[in-house]
């Protein structure tokens, strides 16, 4: 790739370009400096790159104005060697992050620490223990010439006893503060002094494209409070401090100022501000449960109850299992306990540090309450469903949801009303459920006077393949039809999204907070009334389906629940999950929740799991923004590399938003993040308006075009190259980037894809016409002879109870238990012609067992292989013929079974029909 093209890719006005793009710019500068040393006097390219870089480097503490000025100076004095060695040192320090601890990195020459006392804190680089580093953004109205002495003043405040070390970063305008907050993930606190300007002192196009995304005009309010609100929206985890030289009391009393952690009067001591900044970070750093667990592990404790593994004596003294102790290390055993006292707490009834840890998690994720769960989101979902639904309640459920929802319905006796996602037949997968389908279901129930029975809408966001709902719109429109509807958003895969300003509004909690704000806006009632009068007395269903409905803010009871597998996208140990609550009526169901906790939580929860949930929260609050940015950048790097590589792109492609989301659901006209001309403004509009968006970190790699089915390709990647990936479909595999990935992972993947593509290329060119024909036939079979994706048919009449005529809800619980009657069951193999005969002539049958792909909608899931039904051993067990009620059933199970056997990908609900059903899990 040419340098020009590389720069283009790395530009900050491209999407989500983060730390990687910055590192690339520095490497380009190093290359230019080296070229200059080889052609003395020719430093035009170096100058140009430095000028470009200088704009955004102002937003970072390191290398800082001192070293940047030195680089500029070397250009004006034609010192190629000096420029090159300094650029190399800075680049290395950024790459290794050594500047966070090593004082010498901040010096002009690497002469060790202490040679620039005005730049460095007395203890910087010398502490015995590692001190976490962050940066504090200082927004000021003072001219830039004052920033350097001011910076020195801040640094002089550092004390050896400080738990953290930070570097101040100065900006003088609203725009710069916004850009710095976006571009610098190290910023953990912002001090806003009044008196700054609106416009940046730079007029760089890269900044314009960023600030356009901010949606803020020059003539608008540029007060410190306004800035605080804008920054809080971008990164809610940041601590904001305001320094005002007038009316601080009035400001402090303003409810709008609640986004600010503390307000200072400008003449006050700078030391107070410094201490407040440290305290704010300490508050996020503290992990109440984990901190106590560590203390507990250090204490001499004799255990006289269960859990002999605790303290590890029986492990380390053993000749036979000592390797286990050596492998895991002593702390694991020292921190094992079945106690709930002595500094620990009870997960089932938390009153101490687990309670505090949960409260911190609630703050971090924008919820009112959080439950820590130690048996995965499978359990979180069952808890929520059981607590919120009772026998006979109707829940509108995505048919492709994870098994835990179906089991939750069985437990609670609620009646699921399955709604269908749009099919993506070409790739043998499902999308998400269109809002129109959901509204239609609600309107049908309303038409039959059964709206009062509907309690919940239960959806998966994002879906396994990355379809993100417009959570706000879905909730608002549903609330317009049923103002007290409860929402359960299964965000098993999407917990990380909270820490991206782009994705947050599309999370359950992000949207719930936005709706909550709107409900309190006086304009909301007026908007509702206006729409109501436009509708007239009796708007038709068609009008209601076509219009974006506005709920009545006076009627709405906002009740939102979100579950997430913290272990799937953050640093929690496997099975660590959280259940978030933002429900104005939580007090009415709180007791039920405690029952649900008692039903599902083990009485022996694992301490390490709880500790990891606490730590995962700490990490996300302090560095989640940068980590998520990195995960997105990695995904874009993979997408770009696959598309740009001539060999790889011959056989493989990654589906863009345009392939994953049909055009009618991309109302903004957005095509894809990587399509020509796409920019931040367009992506933001899509994220704001479109019915569905694609999570960029979830990449569907089509491998059918290379002649591999998903399972086969997954096996090749795992067995030959040690690359593990997520799920597969008939002709694709799903790659997922997360906070753990590095660019080396990208390089490995791309190298492997290039190698495989090369092998295909060679075998085709050496194999002659026959090899090509066989290959083409294989590709055709994988890509075009794809099986249908049948919808859920219906519940058998026996299990329809009092269901209405227009809707297809059913009593899943009775059906489930009817299957316990062995006499009513028969077994038919999936491929058996008997199924076709029965379909045609009857007698019908229901489906005996849940046939659910794990995870949601998808059977072939490496991570969940333990409960993945072995495809080859699927047996149709239409066991229902002995049951006269079931004999009436026609056709459903056989079709479902056949769907399974052909595609091996069917979501369970095809196979599930009432009660007795036909697919045995291996």
Residue 870 Cβ vs ligand PLP, minimum distance, rounded to whole Å: 18
- Applying CB under 6 A, the span of 374-382, 499-507, 670-678, 751-759 interacting with ligand PLP comes to 374-382
Closer to ligand PLP by CB, 264 or 912: give it. 912
Instruction: Find out whether 636 and 657 touch, Cβ atoms under 8 Å.
Output: no
**Rounded CA gap, 566 and 553, in Å?**
33
Under the binding rule (CB under 6 A), the answer on residue 507 touching ligand PLP is no
Residue 417 Cβ vs ligand PLP, minimum distance, rounded to whole Å: 19
| 264 bridge partner residues | 243
Closer to ligand PLP by CB, 421 or 830: give it. 421
Under the binding rule (CB under 6 A), the answer on residue 378 touching ligand PLP is yes
Under the binding rule (CB under 6 A), the answer on residue 402 touching ligand PLP is yes
Closer to ligand PLP by CB, 197 or 711: give it. 711
Closer to ligand PLP by CB, 462 or 835: give it. 462
Closer to ligand PLP by CB, 381 or 793: give it. 381
Q: Please, is 525 exposed, middle or buried when counting C-beta atoms within 10 Å of its C-beta (0-12, 13-18, 19+)?
A: middle
- Report DSSP state, residue 420: P
Residue 464 Cβ vs ligand PLP, minimum distance, rounded to whole Å: 6
Instruction: Find out whether 857 and 902 touch, Cβ atoms under 8 Å.
Output: no
Which residues are CB-neighbours of 387 under 8 A, at least 6 positions away? 589, 592, 593, 595, 596
Residue 566 Cβ vs ligand PLP, minimum distance, rounded to whole Å: 8
Residue 490 Cβ vs ligand PLP, minimum distance, rounded to whole Å: 5
Under the binding rule (CB under 6 A), the answer on residue 852 touching ligand PLP is no
Left, alpha or beta for 16 (phi > 0: left; psi -120 to 50: alpha)?
Answer: left
Residue 511 Cβ vs ligand PLP, minimum distance, rounded to whole Å: 18
Instruction: Out of 395, 856, 878, 909, name the contact with ligand PLP by CB under 6 A.
Output: 856
Closer to ligand PLP by CB, 235 or 727: give it. 727
Residue 704 Cβ vs ligand PLP, minimum distance, rounded to whole Å: 23
Tell me the H-state helices in 389-470. Answer: 403-412, 435-447
* Binding letters toward ligand PLP, positions 123-152, x by CB under 6 A: ------------------------------
* Binding letters toward ligand PLP, positions 612-631, x by CB under 6 A: --------------------
- Applying CB under 6 A, the span of 208-216, 332-340, 372-380, 906-914 interacting with ligand PLP comes to 372-380
Q: At 527, give phi and psi (nearest 5°).
A: -65, -40
- Report DSSP state, residue 483: T
**Rounded CA gap, 678 and 111, in Å?**
46
Residue 508 Cβ vs ligand PLP, minimum distance, rounded to whole Å: 13
Instruction: Out of 605, 704, 855, 859, name the contact with ligand PLP by CB under 6 A.
Output: 855
Closer to ligand PLP by CB, 568 or 904: give it. 568
Under the binding rule (CB under 6 A), the answer on residue 608 touching ligand PLP is no
Residue 874 Cβ vs ligand PLP, minimum distance, rounded to whole Å: 20
Instruction: Find out whether 468 and 695 touch, Cβ atoms under 8 Å.
Output: yes
Which residues are CB-neighbours of 893 under 8 A, at least 6 positions away? 835, 844, 845, 846, 847, 876, 878, 880, 911, 913, 917, 918
- Say how many residues touch ligand PLP, by CB under 6 A: 15
Closer to ligand PLP by CB, 238 or 613: give it. 613
Residue 377 Cβ vs ligand PLP, minimum distance, rounded to whole Å: 3
What does 181-196 look like in DSSP terms, one character per residue?
A: HHH-TTEEEEEEES--
Under the binding rule (CB under 6 A), the answer on residue 377 touching ligand PLP is yes
Q: To which residue do tokens 């200059």 refer?
A: 36
**Rounded CA gap, 665 and 676, in Å?**
20
Which residues are CB-neighbours of 487 under 8 A, at least 6 positions away? 456, 457, 458, 459, 474, 475, 478, 508, 559, 560, 561
**How far is Cα of residue 480 from the mean position of the Cα atoms in its chain?**
28
Instruction: Out of 19, 125, 325, 376, name the contact with ligand PLP by CB under 6 A.
Output: 376
**Rounded CA gap, 283 and 770, in Å?**
68
Number of neighbouring beta carbons within 10 Å of residue 223? 17
Instruction: Out of 58, 135, 490, 893, name the contact with ligand PLP by CB under 6 A.
Output: 490
Nearest one of 284, 63, 61 to 187, comparing CA atoms: 61
Q: What share of the chain is helix, strand, coil (3-state, %, to 5)?
A: 50, 10, 40
Instruction: Out of 133, 464, 496, 651, name the contact with ligand PLP by CB under 6 A.
Output: 464
Closer to ligand PLP by CB, 490 or 583: give it. 490
Instruction: Find out whether 605 and 577 touch, Cβ atoms under 8 Å.
Output: no
Closer to ligand PLP by CB, 454 or 492: give it. 492
Residue 568 Cβ vs ligand PLP, minimum distance, rounded to whole Å: 6
Instruction: Provide the b/e sequence for 37-70 (b: ≥16 CB within 10 Å).
Output: beeeeebebbeebbebbbbbbbbbbbbbbebbeb
Closer to ligand PLP by CB, 56 or 378: give it. 378
* Binding letters toward ligand PLP, positions 546-565, x by CB under 6 A: -------------------x
Closer to ligand PLP by CB, 491 or 709: give it. 491
CA trace torsion 231, 236, 239, 241 (10° rounding): 40
Instruction: Find out whether 225 and 241 touch, Cβ atoms under 8 Å.
Output: no
Residue 606 Cβ vs ligand PLP, minimum distance, rounded to whole Å: 14
What does 273-287 look like in DSSP terms, one character per residue?
A: HHHHHHHHHHHHH--
What does 325-376 look like in DSSP terms, one character per residue?
A: HHHH-HHHHHT----S-TT---SSS--SHHHHHHHHHHHHHT-SEEEEESSH
169: enclosing H helix or E strand: strand 165-171
Closer to ligand PLP by CB, 91 or 381: give it. 381
- Applying CB under 6 A, the span of 377-385, 620-628, 717-725, 887-895 interacting with ligand PLP comes to 377-385
Residue 466 Cβ vs ligand PLP, minimum distance, rounded to whole Å: 12
- Applying CB under 6 A, the span of 77-85, 373-381, 636-644, 661-669 interacting with ligand PLP comes to 373-381
- Applying CB under 6 A, the span of 42-50, 376-384, 586-594, 708-716 interacting with ligand PLP comes to 376-384
| Chain position whose Cβ is nearest to ligand PLP | 376
**Rounded CA gap, 351 and 364, in Å?**
20
Residues in 521-540 that interact with ligand PLP by CB under 6 A:
none
Residue 372 Cβ vs ligand PLP, minimum distance, rounded to whole Å: 13
Instruction: Out of 492, 558, 578, 803, name the contact with ligand PLP by CB under 6 A.
Output: 492
Under the binding rule (CB under 6 A), the answer on residue 728 touching ligand PLP is no
Q: How far separated are the first and last CA of the chain, in Å rounded?
A: 49
Instruction: Find out whether 196 and 140 touch, Cβ atoms under 8 Å.
Output: yes
Closer to ligand PLP by CB, 707 or 855: give it. 855
Residues in 860-879 that interact with ligand PLP by CB under 6 A:
864
* Binding letters toward ligand PLP, positions 820-839, x by CB under 6 A: --------------------
| 503 bridge partner residues | none
Residue 405 Cβ vs ligand PLP, minimum distance, rounded to whole Å: 8
Instruction: Find out whether 608 and 403 touch, Cβ atoms under 8 Å.
Output: no
Closer to ligand PLP by CB, 457 or 622: give it. 457
Residues in 563-582 that interact with ligand PLP by CB under 6 A:
565, 577
Interface residue list for ligand PLP (CB under 6 A): 376-378, 381, 402, 404, 460, 464, 490, 492, 565, 577, 855-856, 864
């Amino acid at each position: 790739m040419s340098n020009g093209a590389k720069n283009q890719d790395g530009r900050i006005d491209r999407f989500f370009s983060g730390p990687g793009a910055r590192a690339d710019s520095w490497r380009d500068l190093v290359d230019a400096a080296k070229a200059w040393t080889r052609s003395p006097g020719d430093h035009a390219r170096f100058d140009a790159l430095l000028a470009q870089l200088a704009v955004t480097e102002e937003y970072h503490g390191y290398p800082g104005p001192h070293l940047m000025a030195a680089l500029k100076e070397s250009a004006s004095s034609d010192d190629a060697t000096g420029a090159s060695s300094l650029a190399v040192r800075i680049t290395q320090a950024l790459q290794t992050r050594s500047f966070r601890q090593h004082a010498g990195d901040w010096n002009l020459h690497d002469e060790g620490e202490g040679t620039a006392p005005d730049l460095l804190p007395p203890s910087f680089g010398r502490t015995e223990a590692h001190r976490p580093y962050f940066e504090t953004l200082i927004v000021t109205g003072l001219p830039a010439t004052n920033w350097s002495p001011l910076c020195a003043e801040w640094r002089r405040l550092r004390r050896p006893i400080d738990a953290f070390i930070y570097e101040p970063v100065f900006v003088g305008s609203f725009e710069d503060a916004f850009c710095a907050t976006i571009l610098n993930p190290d910023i953990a606190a912002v001090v806003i002094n009044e008196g700054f300007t609106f416009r940046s002192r730079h007029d760089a196009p890269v900044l314009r494209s960023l600030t356009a995304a901010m949606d803020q005009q020059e003539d608008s309010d540029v007060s410190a409070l306004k800035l605080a609100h804008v920054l809080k929206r971008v990164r809610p985890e940041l601590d904001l401090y305001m320094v005002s030289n007038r009316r601080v009391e009035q400001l402090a009393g303003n409810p709008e100022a609640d986004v600010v952690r503390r307000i200072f009067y400008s003449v006050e001591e700078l030391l107070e501000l410094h201490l407040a900044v440290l305290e704010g970070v300490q508050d996020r750093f503290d992990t109440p449960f984990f901190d106590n667990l560590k203390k507990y592990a250090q204490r001499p404790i004799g255990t006289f109850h269960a859990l002999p593994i605790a303290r590890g004596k029986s492990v380390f003294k053993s000749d036979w299992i000592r390797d286990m102790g050596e492998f895991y290390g002593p702390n694991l055993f020292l921190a094992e306990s079945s106690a709930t006292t002595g500094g620990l707490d009870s997960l089932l009834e938390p009153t101490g540090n687990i309670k505090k840890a949960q409260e911190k998690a609630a703050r971090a994720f924008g919820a009112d309450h959080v439950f820590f769960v130690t048996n995965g989101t499978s359990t979180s979902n069952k808890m929520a469903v059981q607590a919120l639904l009772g026998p006979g309640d109707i829940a509108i459920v995505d048919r492709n949801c994870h098994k835990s929802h179906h089991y939750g319905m069985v437990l609670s006796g609620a009646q699921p009303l399955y709604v269908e996602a749009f099919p993506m037949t070409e790739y043998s997968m499902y999308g998400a459920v269109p809002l129109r389908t959901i509204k239609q279901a609600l309107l049908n129930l309303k038409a039959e006077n059964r709206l009062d029975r509907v309690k919940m809408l239960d959806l998966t966001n994002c879906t396994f393949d990355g379809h993100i709902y417009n959570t706000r719109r879905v909730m608002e429109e549903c609330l317009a039809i049923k103002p007290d509807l409860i929402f359960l958003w299964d965000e098993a895969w999407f917990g990380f999204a909270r820490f991206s300003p782009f994705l947050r509004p599309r999370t359950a909690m992000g949207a719930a907070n936005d709706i909550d704000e709107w409900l309190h806006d006086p304009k909301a009632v007026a908007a509702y009334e206006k729409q109501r009068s436009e509708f007239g007395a009796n708007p038709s269903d068609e009008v209601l389906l076509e219009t974006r409905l506005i709920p009545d803010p006076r009627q709405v009871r906002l009740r939102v629940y979100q579950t997430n597998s913290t272990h799937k996208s953050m640093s929690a140990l496997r099975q660590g999950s959280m259940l978030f609550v933002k429900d104005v009526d939580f007090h009415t169901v709180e007791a039920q929740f405690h029952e649900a906790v008692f039903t599902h939580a083990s009485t022996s929860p694992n301490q390490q799991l709880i500790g990891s949930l606490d730590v995962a929260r700490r990490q996300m609050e302090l560095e989640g923004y940068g980590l998520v940015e990195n995960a997105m950048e990695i995904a874009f790097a993979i997408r770009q590399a696959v598309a740009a590589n001539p060999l790889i792109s011959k056989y493989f492609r990654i589906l863009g938003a345009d392939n994953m989301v049909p055009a009618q659901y991309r109302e903004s006209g957005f095509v894809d993040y990587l399509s020509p001309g796409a920019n931040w403004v367009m992506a933001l509009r899509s994220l704001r308006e479109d019915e569905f968006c694609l999570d960029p970190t979830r990449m569907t790699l089509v491998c059918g075009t290379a002649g591999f089915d998903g399972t086969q390709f997954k096996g090749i990647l795992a067995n030959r190259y040690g690359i593990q990936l997520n799920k597969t479909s008939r002709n694709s595999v799903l790659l997922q980037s997360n906070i753990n990935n590095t660019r080396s992972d990208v390089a490995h993947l791309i190298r492997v894809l290039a190698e495989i593509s090369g092998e295909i290329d060679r075998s085709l060119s050496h194999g002659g016409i026959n090899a090509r024909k066989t290959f083409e036939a294989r590709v055709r079979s994988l890509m075009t002879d794809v099986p249908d994706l049948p919808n859920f048919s219906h519940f058998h009449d026996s299990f329809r109870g009092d269901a209405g005529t227009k809707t297809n809800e059913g009593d899943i619980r009775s059906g489930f238990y009817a299957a316990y009657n062995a006499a009513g069951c028969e077994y038919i193999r999936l491929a058996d012609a008997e199924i076709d005969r029965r379909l045609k002539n009857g007698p019908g049958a229901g489906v005996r067992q849940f046939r659910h792909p794990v995870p949601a909608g998808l059977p072939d899931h490496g991570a969940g292989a333990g409960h993945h039904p072995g495809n080859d051993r699927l047996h149709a067990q239409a066991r229902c013929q002995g049951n006269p009620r079931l004999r009436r059933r026609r056709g459903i199970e056989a079709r479902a079974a056949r769907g399974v056997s052909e595609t091996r990908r069917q979501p369970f609900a095809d196979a599930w029909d009432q009660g007795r059903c036909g697919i045995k899990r291996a």
